[in-house]
A = this chain, B = another copy of it.
Amino acid sequence: MSKQINVTIWNEFRHEKSNEIVKKLYPQGMHKAIADGISADDLNIRLASLDDPEHGLTEEVVNSTDVLLWWGHCHHGDVKDEIVKRVHKRVLEGMGLIVLHSGHFSKIFKAVMGTNCSLKWREVGEKMRLWNIEPSHPIAQGIGEYFELKNEEMYGERFDIPQDGKIIFISWFEGGEVFRSGVAFERGHGKVFYFSPGHETYPTYYDKNVLKVIGNAVRWAKPLIYQEHTAPNAKPLEAIRTPNPHTVSAGIVQDVDGNTKK
């Protein structure tokens, strides 16, 4: 029997409580809709949200999560820095991270990217068409040449992300913009996928193509290894013959945060 992938779907989960349109669309939250939509035997899915203790992302949860999904929007600022640091560390050790829609401005996505992650936006419910640029990529399996969403928020270029992302989807918007809508990164030992559709007032997380992409991304982001980052003092593997002009300064050692230790 193959081991299940431990998936945690994190959602800000406030729009669904405060906005009637969103509440009607996603009565149990977008995270629950995604969980139901990608449910499969190989996935062990948990939910977490902003207002849970430690945002639902305790050490125990993070360390037992293989792939973390993240949807946030208006309350990025309420996510505690120490939790962001915990998640970031775990991504670099191997945990997969899938960032959805307005999560582009989340602290965790900006932290792993190192850039501003800014973009243009417009909410008029226009048509969005996602072109599949890399049909051979695991995330694009089962997706045709393109798929459409009848109503979506426009996210437009320039999207401030590093250029090493492998672009899987580029979107066309009715109003005249384009966007790199599906981009796959590697950071440390972890994989990171950004996927742009998913405005809270539309039924995007019931769309079969969107769910297919998210499910594919979960399998793609599953880590092969977990490995902590250390900065070891290494013994030479070969004899050192070059004369050293001075006595080596005795034993300065740093931890991975760059702090000096005795």
Which A residues are within 8 Å of any B CB, using their own CB?
19, 21, 72, 74-77, 92, 94, 105-107, 110-116, 118-127, 129, 131-138, 141, 145, 150-151, 154, 156-158, 160, 162-164, 166-167, 170-178, 180, 185-190, 201-202, 223-225, 227, 229-238, 240-242, 244-246, 248-249, 252, 254, 256-260
Q: When the two chains form their complex, are residues A125 and B242 in contact, meaning their CB atoms are under 8 A apart?
A: yes
Q: Which of B92, B186, B223, B237 contacts A176 (CB 8 A)?
A: B237
CA distance A186 to B202 in the complex (A): 35
Contact A240 B170, CB 8 Å, known A224-B138, A230-B118, A249-B19: no
A151: chain B residues at CB < 8 Å are 242, 244-245
Q: Which of B74, B173, B240, B252 contacts A174 (CB 8 A)?
A: B240
CA distance A237 to B118 in the complex (A): 20
| 11 new A-B contacts at CB < 8 Å, known A121-B232, A135-B158, A154-B236 | A74-B254, A94-B136, A112-B114, A124-B236, A129-B237, A150-B242, A162-B186, A162-B187, A163-B164, A172-B172, A174-B241
Q: In angstroms, how far is the closest chain B Cβ from the Cβ of A148? A: 9
